[in-house]
Amino acid sequence: MVFVGIIEWVVVGLLVGYVASKMVNLRGDDPRLGMFAGVGGAVVAAGLYSMITRTGVALWVPWGLAWAAAGAVAGTAAWHAVRSRSVSRERYVPRSSY
CB 45 within 8 A of CB 68: yes
Classify residue 62: in a domain, yes or no: yes
pLDDT of 71 > 70? The answer is yes
Q: Round to whole Å and give the CA distance between 80 and 76.
A: 6
Classify residue 92: in a domain, yes or no: no
pLDDT of 77: 86
How confident is the model over 53-59, as a mean pLDDT?
A: 78
Classify residue 75: in a domain, yes or no: yes
As for how many domains the chain has, the answer is: 1
Classify residue 65: in a domain, yes or no: yes
CB atoms within 10 A of CB 95: 5
Domain that includes residue 51, residue range:
2-84
Classify residue 9: in a domain, yes or no: yes
pLDDT tens by residue, 6-20: 899 899 999 998 888
Classify residue 94: in a domain, yes or no: no
Share of residues in the chain with pLDDT > 70 (%): 81
